[in-house]
């Protein structure tokens, strides 16, 4: 049985913090040493392009694999990425990325053949995302106001809170209609 004395606790805390930091840093690696050794750089580029990753990701691979003395084949990576990004820069992916609020993905398609459709649907999806976020904020506010109403003892305060809740309810109805119209703009 492990006994934690006041002297061993700080030591255990340091060990736990060190392990947590090591795991966090390991998660920052773009590729492990064993992956670097067997990487098919065309396929890596293809997969990254198809996921909408930046072509600048090769710099991360170069840094991480360089620690093991391995130099990625940037030309093969770029060929694969060029093929993969075509798969990503579509109207459907633009819509999906926008609805999910992934605003950082929009620039990766700039200059690609599919950019106009991607950008149009990305922006439409982003409007859906913003409307949904506003609806969530309104729900949170309604819950907060309802809690205040339930706890209130003052008739005047209850009246004001009910009016605020009615206003939020009307706003939610407007946003639901707006959301339905926005969702019809999807591909």
Looking at residue 138, its pLDDT comes to 98
Residue 167, C-beta contacts closer than 8 angstroms, at least 6 positions apart:
none
The tokens for 161 are 């809170």
Residue 45, C-beta contacts closer than 8 angstroms, at least 6 positions apart:
55, 58, 76, 77, 78, 79, 80, 81, 82, 83, 84
Looking at residue 105, its pLDDT comes to 82
> HSE-up of 173 (CA within 13 Å, CB side)?
6
**Pair 128, 182: CB distance under 8 Å:** yes
Q: What is the mean pLDDT of the chain?
A: 87
Is the per-residue pLDDT at 146 higher than 60? yes
- pTM listed for this prediction: 0.75
Nearest to 81 by CA among 48, 108, 35, 115: 48
Looking at residue 9, its pLDDT comes to 42
Average pLDDT of span 37-43: 94
């Amino acid at each position: 049985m492990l006994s934690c004395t006041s002297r061993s606790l700080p030591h255990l805390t340091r060990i736990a913090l060190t392990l947590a930091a090591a795991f966090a840093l390991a998660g920052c690696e773009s590729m492990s040493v064993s992956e670097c050794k067997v990487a098919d750089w065309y396929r890596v580029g293809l997969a990254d392009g198809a996921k909408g990753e930046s072509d600048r990701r090769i710099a991360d691979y170069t840094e991480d694999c360089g620690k093991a003395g391995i130099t990625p084949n940037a030309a093969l990576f770029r060929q694969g990425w060029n093929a993969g990004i075509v798969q990503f820069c579509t109207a459907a992916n633009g819509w999906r990325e926008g609805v999910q609020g992934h605003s950082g993905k929009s620039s990766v398609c700039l200059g690609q053949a599919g950019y106009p459709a991607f950008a149009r649907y990305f922006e439409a999806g982003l409007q859906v995302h913003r409307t949904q976020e506003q609806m969530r904020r309104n729900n949170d506010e309604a819950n907060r106001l309802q809690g205040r109403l339930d706890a209130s003892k003052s008739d005047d305060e209850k009246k004001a809170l009910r009016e605020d809740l009615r206003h939020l309810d009307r706003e939610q109805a407007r946003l639901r209609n707006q959301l339905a119209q926005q969702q019809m703009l999807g591909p």
